[in-house]
Amino acid sequence: KQEVTQIPAALSVPEGENLVLNCSFTDSAIYNLQWFRQDPGKGLTSLLLIQSSQREQTSGRLNASLDKSSGRSTLYIAASQPGDSATYLCAVAGYSSASKIIFGSGTRLSIRP
Amino acid sequence: DVKVTQSSRYLVKRTGEKVFLECVQDMDHENMFWYRQDPGLGLRLIYFSYDVKMKEKGDIPEGYSVSREKKERFSLILESASTNQTSMYLCASSFQDRGLNTEAFFGQGTRLTVV
């Protein structure tokens, strides 16, 4: 059974710092991995999707990498801003595109002005 | 823009009531999902559907059922609501791989309180 873990559970950094969020998964037979952002009391907003054949994806100040063989992904946030404060979740889809999507428990990020 | 719409933002129901949570997507996605989210437990998959009338149990299907009669609509049913089903419920949808973006999109969530 696929298990997804995110470490740390919470992180607080001063504005302007670059930071890395970590995600690991137990079964490397994944179809894709997706990073989401969630603001308190709201739904999830998709940030980046990495297909299993890809190594990384970039969008603005965000860069996500994927190492399937080691079961790891990282989300790199450059030049952090207070508006980046939110919970970040990673999720993996199983071996096909008609598979379940399993989530990690998230990292709660706080950017101090 | 992809839109996944959940019928209610907030809902209060009584113990024992039959509750319907509705989710509609407008992007012709094959896959649809229902999750619940609780503090300290993260998002847990209740049910998943990969086609009309097709469904698969997720990690916590007990006390729930689902219906997918049309491609765009996926309903979550609480047969007899109980207080331990008080939670935030999130619906999502995605394409299967037809050379299309298989990104999952979420609705805004329904906060259900069972009293």
Would you call A6 exposed, middle or buried from its count of C-beta atoms within 10 A (0-12, 13-18, 19+)? buried
- List, for residues B5-28, the tens digit of each pLDDT value: 999 999 999 999 999 999 999 999
* Stretch (H or E) spanning A90: strand A86-93
Q: Where do the DSSP E strands lie in chain B?
A: 4-6, 10-13, 19-25, 31-38, 42-51, 54-57, 64-70, 73-78, 87-94, 105-106, 110-114
B42–A contact, CB cutoff 8 A = yes
B61 touches chain A (CB under 8 A): no
* pLDDT tops 90 at residue B99: no
Minimal CA separation from B79 to chain A, in Å: 23
Local confidence band at B100 (pLDDT 50, 70, 90 cut-offs): low
- Range B29-54 average pLDDT: 93
> What is the average pLDDT value for chain B, to the nearest integer?
93
Residues of chain A with C-beta less than 8 angstroms from the C-beta of B58? 100
Q: What is the mean pLDDT of residues A3-22?
A: 95
CB contact under 8 A, B106 and A43: yes
pLDDT of residue B65: 97
What pLDDT does A87 receive? 97
pLDDT over 90 percentage in chain B = 83
| Buried/exposed A62-96: b ≥16 CB within 10 Å, e otherwise | bbbbbebeebbbbbebeebeeebbbbbbbbbbbee
Share of chain A above pLDDT 90, in %: 82
